[in-house]
Amino acid sequence: MSVPAYDRIGLSYSAVRRADPRFETAIWNALGDAGIVLNIGAGAGSYEPRDREVIAVEPSPVMIAQRPVDSAPAIQGVAESIPLGDKSVDATMGVFTMQHWDDVDRGLTEVLRVTRKRIVFLTLDLDVTAQMWLCSDYLPEIIEHDRQAFPTIAHLQAVLPNLQAEPIIAPADCTDGFCVALWSRPEAYLDPDVRRASSIWHLLPPAVVAGGLDRLRQDLDSGKWDDCYGNLRTQATLDIGLRLVKAELQGAEAHSSHIMVRGLKVRRSQTRRGPSR
């Protein structure tokens, strides 16, 4: 395994990226009756349920080292090659992780292989995220970059059976300081410690980041940001594109239009055999 990116990015992760209790409740409810849960791309352990058996899989030792002492055991590994047997967990969860996988389809094939009942991901619908002011007015490069990394909801719907996507509306006081979560706190983007815990600030060219943040700083100083968006400072919630996607696997065979074959999405009808002779 090559050196995981989060060994560099994740050094102060758990200080800024604290699980938000409202997202936690939504994820735990979506896990339903699952007794054994795989948390893939588990990081420092955010959002893991405490009332069930959890197995964490995470590539970065730096992230694993930030897991609380009483958290579930973590195995170093990647989604593309999950170190678990077929149908060995009731549910798999993954929070803000798919965009980091080298091969999303390979990872989803693996998740389908190890999971018996259901799959729950918290991810972004970038068509909605693109409308958030940071992305629309200051750094459209965030969305340009992320479109290469995040699977679309339509892609997930084609690959994972019986998929439902539920909007999770972001509270203004969200405790998980991921990039667009700071929609009501524009000054936070000017704090390097806050930016350090979100990968996008490490992935964009430094000159692009500096240019966007300079424009934001100027607009905050001049009052232009508040003229345009000051109402957000007192708004309670905003749809920033967060989506809880949930796939039900039991009885799924008849419903899914595609299956994955060696990492490729193939229409189910193309895989049917002809009449036997």
Ligand X SMILES: C[S@@+](CC[C@H](N)C(=O)[O-])C[C@H]1O[C@@H](n2cnc3c(N)ncnc32)[C@H](O)[C@@H]1O
Task: Kindly list the residues in this chain that would bind ligand X in the complex (CB under 6 A).
Answer: 4, 6, 17, 40-44, 46-47, 58-60, 63, 78-80, 95-97, 100-102
Residue type at 105 in one-letter notation = D
Q: How far is the CB of 98 from ligand X (least distance, A)?
A: 8
Q: How far is CA 186 from the centre of its chain?
A: 22
Residues 87 and 186: their CA atoms lie apart, in Å, by 44
CA distances from 253 to 159, 250, 257, 262 (A): 12, 8, 9, 18
The residue (of 65 and 228) whose beta carbon lies closer to ligand X is: 65
The residue (of 48 and 219) whose beta carbon lies closer to ligand X is: 48
Q: How far is the CB of 34 from ligand X (least distance, A)?
A: 17
Determine contact, residues 112/91, Cβ cutoff 8 Å: no
- Tokens linked to 96: 């803000």
Radius of gyration of the chain (CA): 20
Residues 177 and 173: their CA atoms lie apart, in Å, by 9
The residue (of 60 and 129) whose beta carbon lies closer to ligand X is: 60
The residue (of 42 and 130) whose beta carbon lies closer to ligand X is: 42
Q: How far is the CB of 224 from ligand X (least distance, A)?
A: 31
Residue type at 66 in one-letter notation = Q
Q: How far is the CB of 198 from ligand X (least distance, A)?
A: 8
Q: How far is the CB of 4 from ligand X (least distance, A)?
A: 5
**Which residue carries 């609380």 as its tokens?**
68
The residue (of 91 and 225) whose beta carbon lies closer to ligand X is: 91
Residues 41 and 160: their CA atoms lie apart, in Å, by 18
Determine contact, residues 232/132, Cβ cutoff 8 Å: no
Q: How far is the CB of 226 from ligand X (least distance, A)?
A: 30
The residue (of 202 and 217) whose beta carbon lies closer to ligand X is: 202
Q: How far is the CB of 242 from ligand X (least distance, A)?
A: 12
Q: How far is the CB of 29 from ligand X (least distance, A)?
A: 17
The residue (of 93 and 219) whose beta carbon lies closer to ligand X is: 93
- Name the residue with the smallest CB distance to ligand X: 43
Residues 57 and 93: their CA atoms lie apart, in Å, by 11
Q: Which residues pair with 213 in a beta bridge?
A: none
Q: How far is CA 142 from the centre of its chain?
A: 15
The residue (of 103 and 226) whose beta carbon lies closer to ligand X is: 103
Residues 94 and 260: their CA atoms lie apart, in Å, by 19
Taking every pair of Cα atoms in the chain, the longest distance, rounded to a whole number of angstroms, is 78
